Structure 1
Amino acid sequence: MDISILKKEVIQYSKQIGIDKIGFTTADVFTELKERLRRQQELGYQSGFEKGTIEERTEPRRLVPEAQSIIAIAVAYPSRMKNAPRGTKENRRGIFCRASWGVDYHVVLRERLEKLANYIKEKVPDAVTKSMVDTGELSDRAVAERAGIGFSGKNCSIITPEFGSYVYLGELITNIPFTPDKPIEDSCGDCRKCLDACPTGALVQGGQLNAQRCIAFLTQTKTFLPDEFRDKIGNRLYGCDTCQQVCPRNRHVDFHHQTEFEPDPEVAKPLLKPLLKISNRTFREKFGSMSGSWRGKKPIQRNAILALAHFKDKTAVKDLIEVMREDVRPEIRGTAAWTLGKIGTEEAFAAIEEAIAYETDERVIYEMEKGLQFRRND
Structure 2
Amino acid sequence: MDYRLLKQEIIDHANSLGIDKIGFTTADVFTEMKNHLIRQEQLGYQSGFEEKDIEKRVDPSLIFSEPRSIIAIALAYPSRMKNPPKSVKGARRGIFARASWGTDYHTVLRDRLSKLEAFIQERVPEARFRSMVDTGELADRAVAERAGIGWSAKNCAVITPEFGSYVYLGEMITNLPFEPDEPMQDQCGSCNKCVDACPTGALVQGGQLNAQKCIAFLTQTKGFLPDEYRSKIGNRIYGCDTCQTVCPKNKGKDFHFHREMEPDGEIAKPLLEPLLMMSNREFKETFGHISGSWRGKKPIQRNAIIALAHFKEEQSLPVLIEVMNNDPRPVIRGTAAWAVGKIGGSKAKDALLEFKEKEKEGDVLQEIEKGLSFLNN
After TM superposition, the score normalised by the length of structure 1 is 0.99
Distance 1:270 1:297 in 2: 13
- Paired residues in the alignment total 377
Verify: 1:53 aligned to 2:38, yes or no: no
Counterpart position of 1:72: 72
Verify: 1:223 aligned to 2:229, yes or no: no
- Three-state SS of the structure 2 residue aligned to 1:73 is strand
Return the offset for 1:30: 0.3
Distance 2:185 2:195 in 1: 20
Counterpart position of 2:362: 362
Task: Output the amino acid matched with 1:222.
Answer: K
Distance 1:153 1:96 in 2: 23
Verify: 1:120 aligned to 2:120, yes or no: yes
Return the offset for 1:346: 2.1
Task: Output the amino acid matched with 1:47.
Answer: S
- Three-state SS of the structure 2 residue aligned to 1:231 is helix
Task: Output the amino acid matched with 1:261.
Answer: M
Task: Output the amino acid matched with 2:80.
Answer: R
Return the offset for 1:44: 0.2
- Three-state SS of the structure 2 residue aligned to 1:299 is helix
Distance 1:359 1:346 in 2: 21
Counterpart position of 1:82: 82
Return the offset for 1:376: 1.7
Task: Output the amino acid matched with 1:358.
Answer: K
Gaps spanning 5+ residues in structure 2: where? none
Verify: 1:297 aligned to 2:297, yes or no: yes
Residues 38-85 of structure 1: CA deviation (Å, up to 9, x unaligned): 000000000000024000000001011210100000000000000101
Distance 2:52 2:338 in 1: 37
Task: Output the amino acid matched with 1:151.
Answer: W
Distance 1:301 1:348 in 2: 20
Distance 2:80 2:375 in 1: 40
Residues 227-286 of structure 1: CA deviation (Å, up to 9, x unaligned): 000000000010000000000000000001111100000000000111111111111111
Distance 2:348 2:22 in 1: 55
Gaps spanning 5+ residues in structure 1: where? none
Return the offset for 1:315: 0.4
Runs of 4+ in structure 1 deviating by more than 3 angstroms, as ranges, are none
Distance 1:223 1:95 in 2: 20
Return the offset for 1:119: 1.1
Counterpart position of 2:189: 189
Distance 1:204 1:23 in 2: 30
Task: Output the amino acid matched with 2:286.
Answer: K
Distance 1:52 1:44 in 2: 13
Return the offset for 1:375: 1.4
Instruction: Give me the identity figure in percent.
Output: 67
Give the 5 Å matches for 1:124-203: 124-203=124-203
Return the offset for 1:336: 0.1
Counterpart position of 2:343: 343
Residues 191-250 of structure 1: CA deviation (Å, up to 9, x unaligned): 000001000000000000000000000000000000000000000010000000000000
Give the alignment's Cα RMSD to 1 decimal.
0.6
Verify: 1:7 aligned to 2:4, yes or no: no
Counterpart position of 2:329: 329
After TM superposition, the score normalised by the length of structure 2 is 0.99
Counterpart position of 1:38: 38
Distance 1:214 1:305 in 2: 19
Distance 1:321 1:278 in 2: 16
Distance 1:287 1:128 in 2: 35
Give the 5 Å matches for 1:88-99: 88-99=88-99
Distance 2:193 2:226 in 1: 26
Distance 1:361 1:191 in 2: 48
- Three-state SS of the structure 2 residue aligned to 1:267 is helix
Distance 2:36 2:353 in 1: 50
- Three-state SS of the structure 1 residue aligned to 2:365 is helix
Return the offset for 1:87: 1.1
Distance 2:259 2:365 in 1: 47
Distance 2:95 2:65 in 1: 43
- Three-state SS of the structure 2 residue aligned to 1:232 is helix
Task: Output the amino acid matched with 2:130.
Answer: K
Distance 2:121 2:52 in 1: 27
- Three-state SS of the structure 2 residue aligned to 1:15 is helix
Return the offset for 1:371: 0.5
- Three-state SS of the structure 1 residue aligned to 2:358 is coil
- Three-state SS of the structure 1 residue aligned to 2:349 is helix
Distance 1:376 1:315 in 2: 21
Verify: 1:248 aligned to 2:218, yes or no: no
Distance 1:9 1:87 in 2: 48
